[in-house]
Structure formats: C-alpha cells, structure tokens
C-alpha cells in the first residue's frame, strides 16, 4: 500500500511509534467523530495508513484480532470515527446513568445555576470564586442537563464562558432573562469581595 | 522520590531538588560559608551555635542576593526568608539566655521554648521540602490526558427527566443565597459564635464610665459582662483610648488590678467616631 | 476466586455477558474515577471478580495479554479506575487539543497544600502557625481549585477544618493519601505543640 506501512497489527509509522496506539490516544479524548484526514494530520501519518489501521482496530475491538472482543467499538458516523459503547451494553449504560443522574438537582447544582443565570457570561473559575468551592462536576451536570451552555472562549485566557439556555427559562416559566426577578440591592452589598461589578 | 527524612537532615542536596538548592541563597559569615539551607541544617542539628550566627550579616547578604533575582522568585524567596529569619531570631533570643545550671523553672521553660522553636523550624523545612514533591507530581500529572468525553446523545436521552419545582421567585431567592459572600473569615473574632461587637460602641461605654468616676478598675469596667467578645472589645477600646492619650492606666504588679483614669485634655465625639478604625474590615 | 468466574480473559458473569466488556462499557462513559465497589454494583458482579478483571484489562492494555499494547491505559487514581491516554502519547494529544497548561500553584500555595495534606483535619489558623504567615487567600485558591474542602466546623470554636479532596489525589496521580511521601521523623520533634498522632 504505502511505503512506510508494514502489515496488519504491526503497522508502524515512520518514527517507529505504533500508529494504532497513536490513533487510539486521539480517539480516547475526542468528543465528536473525527474524519480520516484530520486524524491523519493529528497522528502525522498518511491517510491510507490511517485508514488501514482504523480497519484493523475495528476488527480488533470486534474480537476478530488477537485479543478478546471489547465493550466498546469503533464506528464511522457522519463521516468521522469515534469510540462508542457496544450496543449490547446500552441497557447497562442506561441503568448506570440513571443511577448517576438523580431526577432532582442538588442544592449545590441549583446555587451554581443561579450564579450563572444572574452573572452570565461567566467562567467556571469566576463561579468557583463566588461559591468558594470547586464547581467543575456541578457544571458538567448542568451542561449534561442542557440547563447551561458554553457561550464562547475568552480571547485572552481561553477560559470558557457559560450562560443559561431556553430550557432553564421554560422550567422557570419565563420568556427571557429580563424576566428574572431582580436581586440587585442585595447583590451590591455582597459584590465587594468579587472581581468586577458586572452583576446585574 | 520522597525526601527521605534521615538523609534530608544530613545532606540537603539529596532531599531537595539540587537545581533549585544549589542556585539558592548562600551566606558567607566569619564562621560559616555555604548555602543558607545548610546553615539551617547545621543549626537544627545543634552542630552550630545559633548565638554565633550574625543575623544582621545574613540579612545583608540576603538583600544583596534578592537584588539579582527576578520578581516572582524574589517574592517567594523573600517571604520564605522572613519566616526563617523570624524563627532564627526567636531561637537567638532563647540561645542567648544563660543555660548553665538548670535551677529555676523559668530557665527550664525557656530552654523548652527553644526546643520548640527548633522544632518549628524543622517542621517548616519538612513541609517546604515535601512541597517540591507536590509540585513535581502536579506538573507530571498535569500533562496526562484522561478520558472525559461528553455522553453520547443516545445515552443522554435516557437520563431520567429532570424534576423541576422552583418558580422564578424561588430561583431568585436561591440566587441571593448563592451570592451571599461566603465568610472566608479573618482569623480572630470570627471564631467566636457571639454576634459581632463594635469596638466603637464599647469605647463609648468605657468613656462614659471613666468620665463619671475618679478611677475605675478594668474589673469594674467589665463587671456583669458575660460575652467574651464584649470583654475583648472593651479591652481593645481601652488600648485604643490609651493610644489617643484619653486615659492612663496603672498596674502595681504583674497580673494585678488594672486601674484606669480619664486623662483626655480635649475629647470630642469625632475622636470616638474614628476610634478603632484599624479594626474595620 | 468466586464461583461465577471462569478464567483469565474469558471471565464471564452469571448472565453470560463477558464481564470485561461490561466494565469497558462503563469505563468508556465515566467522567470521574470509579471505585471497585461502585463498578461492581454497576456491572452486577462481585467485587473480587471485578478486581480480577480490572487486573486482566490493565495487563491487556499494556500489551501483556493476547492483543497489542493500546494507546490508552487503565489507571487507579484518586480512589478509582479511569482510562488515560498512555503517557508516551501525551505530547501528541497535547498538540492535537492545543489547550494550555493550567495555571501553576505558587510556592506558598504548594506549601499550604502540603501542610493541609499531612495535618488534616486542620484549621486555617493552625496552618498559618506552621507557615507563619496569613494563608487566607491561598486557602481560597485551593478551595476554588477543588484541591481542598471544608470538612467540619470545630464544635467549640466554630473554626473550619480543612482536608484534601479526591481531586487533589487525581491531580497528584496517586490513589490515596497513603502514597504521600513519609515525613514523620522530621516532624516528630515538632509535633509537641500540635495535635499528635495524625502525622504519618
């Protein structure tokens, strides 16, 4: 096929690092399916070699290689490749997520949501400094619930700014953020300790 | 790896990152020439008498050393030096005291205090050394990549429907709660459960009591007061009034009765209003 | 080991689905480390069997099983198991995602963190007495980063006691506080004035 590719499992790149490993490293961290060309650019190998290695990995994960079948599979969706839980285990995953995601938001999640609602756009570290606790996992929950969304990344720091979604407005029974009851008088008092006075 | 305790008290380069240590602050005294850290090690091992070390010479050298550092490094090094210098000074005070025959209890207590200071220095160094391990691990792990991928749409749809019961007003109330400044209390009165006490108010009471009598003892001044916070505030207000030369006090023996007399030549309510401003947040 | 477990790669659960696959399915979707017990509950198998299968998977991914070495690995960090990119490929992934390294902690923050880690539960004033400086703002930073947390308020003084979090363990790449380097001999001398015993 291409000159710098050996065979099957043992496909290696020019620099000697196994191409399959490099591809797996990228596949492990991507959120969205990745196209062959982008993947080839990421691992620094020709598209043809990447395609061949992907095919090997698909077979491998499906148990047609030397190892056992995996609980995940490599699928091409919408022109890109991504790791998915094998369909056989969908029920297992659904049960697990059901157990992980309680139907009600915790007090911590609600308070964080309130801070984001009144102070948006706001970064995670700004919320953390107002709440005086780390809010990473709570922000993940709120994102997963579709109550907040990533608005934009700060041009300088790259920190992501968050805001609330229409889903939240629907839950609150209001049409726009302007209808949120004002809380300014008390906020003014409390604002001293915080960075800048952008609170409404 | 971990700073091995035995080695670290003998050979400093083994316990701490040699790079930072060797480029660190060196001192050159009449009886010692070498890295500052080694000096501390020798003192802490009692192999060098603290009283022989000229703190002012060390300080002069340190200031010269600081001038050659860049800003960030300087700040870290300077704050560290202050900590160590303060401890050294304490040790020196203890070290200069006579320690021949341990007859009186006071001398014994002072010696124990000196040991405690040695211990404090050792402890500080132990944490400082182990902090390099923290820095190393945090740096190494900061480069790792963990799988943290958003749940795939198919599975997200299966999460149980969110139960939402808050109205917009409830939500606003919650926001108020969330925005209320978390008390990141200053050390001091925050530890007391008592409500905050105003030093100014207490001073007003003290002024009234003092002006209505020839002399008042502090005991009388706090008679009937139950809350420790008020006693403290009243005492602070006495000190503040003393600063303003508004009163004089007399104590005939240590821990004896404290007698206060009004001594202000000119006193106005404005002075009272600005009293204790240092204590305002 | 346990009755419903066969051998090595072929470990199966009572219902016949390979335990390894079920575990892999869960590992693929979690966003924080999962402990053995939680994992056992999720896949519906005894803890012993899960432990054994995890060990098999670790070996497998490291290339000591039947298949090739993987670009990812299974690590026990911060009290649970999680999939990581193999460290050989960290640079590759860093180039790909192009993120910036998180802000480093100051020397003061590192030392404060060390004191809290070894002496927890500990109050701010206790930390300050060891560090001999005011630690309020540093503690605030550590709280916002999620590296320490408020444990409880002292019954008498109301002073808040702090301790470290699992997030710290994750950031250090260790699994439990027992893996902190020992410093006791140096501290023994110094322990007089402090709450004895808790130092390791």
The C-alpha atoms of residue C78 and residue C173 are separated, in whole angstroms, by 7
Is residue A149 within 8 Å of A167, Cβ to Cβ? no
Choose one of C26, C56, C87: the last residue of a domain.
C87
Kindly state whether A1 is in contact with chain B, defined as any CB-CB distance less than 8 angstroms. Answer: no
Q: Tell me how many domains chain A contains.
A: 2
C120 and C169 together in one domain: yes
Prediction pTM value: 0.63
Residue C156: inside a domain: yes
Is residue C144 within 8 Å of A134, Cβ to Cβ? yes
Q: Could you please report the per-residue DSSP string of C52-97? A: HHHHHHHHIIIIISSSPPPSEEEEEETTEEEEEE-GGGHHHHHHHH
The C-alpha atoms of residue B209 and residue B241 are separated, in whole angstroms, by 13
A109 and A71 together in one domain: no
Residue ranges of alpha helices (H) inside A103-135 are 107-119, 124-131
A74 and A110 together in one domain: no
Domain of residue A52: give its range.
5-87
Cβ contacts of C36-43, under 8 Å, gap ≥ 24: C36/C80, C36/C81, C38/C80, C39/C80, C39/C81, C42/A92, C42/A95, C42/A96, C42/A99, C43/A92, C43/C13, C43/C19
ipTM score: 0.77
The C-alpha atoms of residue A24 and residue A83 are separated, in whole angstroms, by 9
A141 and A78 together in one domain: no
From the list C42, C65, C71, the residue facing A24 with the nearest CB is C71
* CATH label of the domain that carries residue C111: 1.10.10.10
Secondary element (H or E) of residue C143: helix C136-144
CA angle C66, C67, C71 (to 5 degrees): 140
pLDDT band at A1 (very low <50, low <70, confident <90, very high): very low
Residue C96: inside a domain: no
Q: Is the pLDDT of residue A190 over 50?
A: no
Whole-number Cα distances in Å, C5 to C9, C15, C38, C45, C61: 11, 11, 19, 9, 21
Mean pLDDT of B14-21: 39
A119 and A159 together in one domain: yes
Choose one of A43, A60, A87: the last residue of a domain.
A87
C107 and C176 together in one domain: yes
pLDDT of residue B91: 60
Poorest-confidence range of A165-179, B139-153, C64-78, C181-195?
C181-195
The C-alpha atoms of residue B161 and residue B60 are separated, in whole angstroms, by 69
Strand partners, C150: C162
The C-alpha atoms of residue B140 and residue A79 are separated, in whole angstroms, by 36
A119 and A54 together in one domain: no
Beta-carbon contacts of C5 under 8 Å, excluding residues fewer than 6 positions away, are C11, C12, C19, C46, C48, C49, C52
More confident residue, B31 or B219: B219
Kindly state whether A59 is in contact with chain C, defined as any CB-CB distance less than 8 angstroms. Answer: no
Q: The tokens of C132 are what?
A: 């001999």
Choose one of A58, A87, A116: the last residue of a domain.
A87
The C-alpha atoms of residue B100 and residue B110 are separated, in whole angstroms, by 13
Percentage with pLDDT > 90 across chain B:
2
Residue C191: inside a domain: no
pLDDT of residue A189: 40
Instruction: List all residues of chain A from 114 to 173 with a beta carbon under 8 Å from chain B.
Output: 114-115, 117-118, 130-132, 143-145, 171-173
Residue C192: inside a domain: no
A108 and A73 together in one domain: no
Residue with tokens 């809290």: C116
What is the per-residue pLDDT across A85-124, written as a single tens digit (0 to 9) for each?
999 999 899 888 887 767 788 888 999 999 999 999 999 8
Q: The tokens of A198 are what?
A: 């952008």
Residue A156: inside a domain: yes
pLDDT of residue C170: 93
In chain C, residues with a C-beta closer than 8 Å to the C-beta of B191 are 125, 157-159
A135 and A179 together in one domain: yes
* Phi-psi label, residue A27: left if phi above 0, alpha if psi -120 to 50, beta otherwise: alpha
Mean pLDDT of C102-119: 88
Residue C14: inside a domain: yes
Q: Is the pLDDT of residue B57 over 60?
A: yes
The C-alpha atoms of residue B65 and residue B24 are separated, in whole angstroms, by 9
A158 and A114 together in one domain: yes
Nearest Cα to Cα of residue A22 among C94, B253, B106 = C94
Residue with tokens 């380097």: C181
Q: Is the pLDDT of residue B63 over 60?
A: yes
Instruction: Tell me if B160 and A103 make a contact (CB, 8 A cut-off).
Output: yes
Residue C44: inside a domain: yes
Mean pLDDT of B201-208: 81
Beta-carbon contacts of A194 under 8 Å, excluding residues fewer than 6 positions away, are A129, A130
pLDDT band at B110 (very low <50, low <70, confident <90, very high): low
A25 and A80 together in one domain: yes
Residue C195: inside a domain: no
Chain pair A-C, CB pairs under 8 angstroms: 138
pLDDT of residue A194: 41
C28 and C73 together in one domain: yes
Beta-carbon contacts of C66 under 8 Å, excluding residues fewer than 6 positions away, are A66, A67, A68, C9, C60
Kindly state whether C120 is in contact with chain A, defined as any CB-CB distance less than 8 angstroms. Answer: no
From the list C24, C83, C88, the residue facing A28 with the nearest CB is C83
pLDDT band at C32 (very low <50, low <70, confident <90, very high): confident
């Amino acid at each position: 096929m291409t000159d710098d590719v050996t065979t099957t499992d043992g496909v290696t790149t020019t620099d000697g690092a196994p191409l399959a490993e490099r591809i797996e490293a990228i596949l492990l961290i991507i959120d969205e399916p990745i196209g062959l060309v982008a993947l080839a650019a990421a691992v620094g190998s020709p598209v043809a070699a990447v395609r061949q290695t992907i095919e090997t990995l698909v077979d491998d994960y499906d148990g047609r290689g030397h190892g056992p079948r995996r609980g995940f599979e490599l699928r091409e969706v919408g022109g890109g490749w991504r790791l998915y839980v094998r369909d056989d285990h969908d029920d297992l995953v659904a049960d697990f997520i059901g157990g992980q995601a309680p139907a009600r938001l915790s007090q911590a999640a609600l308070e964080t949501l309130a801070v984001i609602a009144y102070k948006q756009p706001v970064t995670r570290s700004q919320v953390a400094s107002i709440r005086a606790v780390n809010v990473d996992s709570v922000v993940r929950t709120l994102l997963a619930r579709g109550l907040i969304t990533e608005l934009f990344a700060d041009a300088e720091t790259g920190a992501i700014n968050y805001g609330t979604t229409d889903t939240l407005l629907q839950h609150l029974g209001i049409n726009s953020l302007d209808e949120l009851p004002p809380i300014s008088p008390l906020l003014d008092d409390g604002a001293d300790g915080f960075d800048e006075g952008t609170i409404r | 790896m971990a700073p091995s305790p035995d080695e670290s008290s003998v050979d400093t380069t083994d316990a701490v990152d040699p790079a930072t240590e060797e480029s660190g602050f060196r001192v050159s005294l009449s009886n010692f020439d070498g890295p500052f850290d080694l000096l501390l090690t020798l003192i802490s091992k009692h192999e060098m008498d603290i009283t022989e070390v000229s703190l002012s010479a060390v300080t002069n050298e340190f200031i010269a050393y600081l001038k050659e550092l860049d800003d960030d490094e300087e700040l870290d090094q300077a704050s560290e030096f202050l900590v160590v210098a303060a401890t050294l000074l304490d040790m020196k005070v203890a070290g200069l005291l006579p320690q021949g025959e341990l007859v009186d209890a006071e001398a014994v207590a002072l010696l124990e205090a000196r040991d405690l200071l040695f211990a404090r220095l050792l402890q500080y160094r132990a944490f400082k050394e182990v902090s390099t391990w923290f820095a190393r691990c945090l740096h190494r792990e900061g480069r790792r990549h963990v799988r943290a991928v958003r749940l795939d749409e198919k599975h997200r749809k299966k999460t149980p429907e969110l139960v939402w019961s808050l109205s917009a007003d409830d939500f606003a109330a919650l926001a108020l709660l969330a925005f209320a400044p978390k008390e990141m209390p200053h050390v001091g009165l925050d530890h007391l459960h008592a409500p905050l006490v105003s030093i100014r108010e207490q001073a007003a009471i003290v002024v009234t009591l003092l002006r209505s009598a020839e002399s008042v003892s502090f005991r009388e001044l706090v008679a009937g007061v139950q809350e420790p916070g008020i006693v403290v505030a009243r005492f602070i207000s006495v000190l503040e009034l003393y600063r303003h030369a508004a009163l004089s006090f007399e104590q005939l023996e240590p821990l004896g009765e404290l007698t206060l007399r009004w001594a202000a030549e000119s006193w106005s309510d404005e002075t009272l209003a600005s009293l204790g401003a240092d204590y305002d947040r």
